[in-house]
């Protein structure tokens, strides 16, 4: 029987990122399916998106210091951040449906 390597047992940043995006997506689907959704749920989704995009930007700059350049990661993070701002404005009622 083979032993599992240490690298296989560790979670990588990509695994955590995928799980967090899945939680955000599940919350958003739940929000969209409600008949009378509460605005605080949209605010929670917006804050989670903003925190996730900021952590992706910090991760990008740490990777850049190591010599790895992933410009698409930065562009994706910026788009997700703008999406979070849109959700936050919608939660405060500043945008129309």
Give the model's pLDDT for residue 33.
92
User: Percentage of the chain with pLDDT > 70?
Assistant: 80
Q: Which residues of the chain have pLDDT under 50?
A: none
pLDDT, residue 20, reads: 86
* pLDDT, position 80: 87
Q: Answer whether residue 86 is part of any domain.
A: yes
Asked if residue 7 belongs to a domain, the reply is no
Which residues, at least 6 apart from 94, have a Cβ–Cβ distance to it below 8 Å? none
Residue 45 lies in a domain: yes
Structural domain includes residue 96? no
Task: Give 24: exposed, middle or buried? Use CB within 10 Å, 0-12, 13-18, 19+.
Answer: buried
Residue 39 is part of which domain span? 13-91
The answer to whether 45 and 31 are in contact (CB under 8 A) is yes
Q: What pLDDT score does 96 carry?
A: 57
The total domain count for the chain is: 1
**Which pLDDT value is given to residue 41?**
87
Q: Is 79 helix (H, G, I), strand (E, B) or coil?
A: helix
Burial 62-94 (b: 16+ CB within 10 A, else e): eeeeeeeeeeebbeebeebbeebeebbebbeee
């Amino acid at each position: 029987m083979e032993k599992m390597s240490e690298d296989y047992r560790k979670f990588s940043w990509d695994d955590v990122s995928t799980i967090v995006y899945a939680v955000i997506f599940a919350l958003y689907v739940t929000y969209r399916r409600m008949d009378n959704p509460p605005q605080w749920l949209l605010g929670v989704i917006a804050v989670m998106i903003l925190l996730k995009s900021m952590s992706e930007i910090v991760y990008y700059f740490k990777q850049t210091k190591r010599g790895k350049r992933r410009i698409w990661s930065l562009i994706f993070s910026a788009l997700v951040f703008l999406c979070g701002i849109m959700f936050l404005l919608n939660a405060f009622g500043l945008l129309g449906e």
